[in-house]
Amino acid sequence: MLGEICRRRLAEVSARPYHFSPDLSRPIPSFSQALALPGLSLIAEVKRKSPSQGDIAALDAPAVARAYEQGGARAISVLTEPHYFAGSEEDLRAVRQAVGLPLLRKDFIVHPSQIPEARALGASAVLLIVAALGELTGAYLELSRKNGLEALVEIHDERELDIALEAGASIVGINNRDLVSLKVNMDTAPRLGELARSRSFEGLLVAESGYSTPEEVRSLVGRFDAVLVGTRLARSGNWQKAIEALMAAADYRRI
């Protein structure tokens, strides 16, 4: 699945003109500072559909983002991939205008032009998926920093953790979902999080995918800096309430 999505995204992105020159003097909120606040931070995702779930919810991106912000999310992830997730660049631009929280551009970054584009649209950070970028991860990380962006470097196994650490990632996301098979294993994030810390990783750790109950979220307190939640929130219908329920469980001081 990951290969199919990336091939399609690369074809689309490389066919359009490269014309992004973001204004780097325009201030944007810090993604890492939001994640480093005391307790477990919640990154709430605007997600309409996905390859594993099909249709999730017909969301108005800025309205949902405002509810996420009111509910206490500390950052918002906006999917901008159009075919498999029904997102768009316009969603990112509109969410930037609607909320003050830092935004993560959630997409399949496979072409350098997507990085300055993300900054121009108002993102504070981009997602870099090691399974997609492999040894190019370091180069994309550097390009992100040059464009005034932070990067959530996403891994799913030990080899990808090695690549992320070698690349100098300071925010590592551990995805419980295998993006090739789409299977979710909730032991993945805790196991690899522990491994990262045992290898002296002192940056921020984010647990991703499959979180839907306060108990699951609570289990991350003291082990992760943030959790990224999409489907559970998007489906809730009452986004602010759903966030508040998850935050109540997460709002513990770091142990």
Ligand X SMILES: O=C(O)c1ccccc1NCC(=O)[C@H](O)[C@H](O)COP(=O)(O)O
Under rule CB under 6 A, which residues in 25-54 are in contact with ligand X?
45, 47, 50-52
Q: Which of 175, 176, 219, 236 is catalytic?
A: 175
Under rule CB under 6 A, which residues in 1-20 are in contact with ligand X?
1-2
Closer residue to ligand X in complex, CB, 148/230 = 230
Active site residue 45: yes
Q: Please report the DSSP string for 110-122 in residue order.
A: -STTHHHHHHHHT
- 77 within 8 A of 230, measured Cβ to Cβ: yes
Rounded Cα distance between 74 and 103, Å, is 9
Under rule CB under 6 A, which residues in 201-240 are in contact with ligand X?
208-211, 228-232
Active site residue 106: yes
Q: Which of 179, 205, 245, 246 binds ligand X (CB under 6 A)?
A: 179
Closer residue to ligand X in complex, CB, 37/182 = 182
Q: Which of 32, 41, 69, 106 is catalytic?
A: 106
Closer residue to ligand X in complex, CB, 148/196 = 196
Buried residues in 191-223 as b, exposed as e (16+ CB within 10 A): ebbeebeeeebebbbbbbbbbeeeebbbbbbeb
Q: Please report the DSSP string for 33-65 in residue order.
A: HHHTSSS-EEEEEE-SEETTTEE-----HHHHH
Closer residue to ligand X in complex, CB, 45/117 = 45
Residues labelled as active-site residues: 45, 47, 106, 154, 175, 208-209
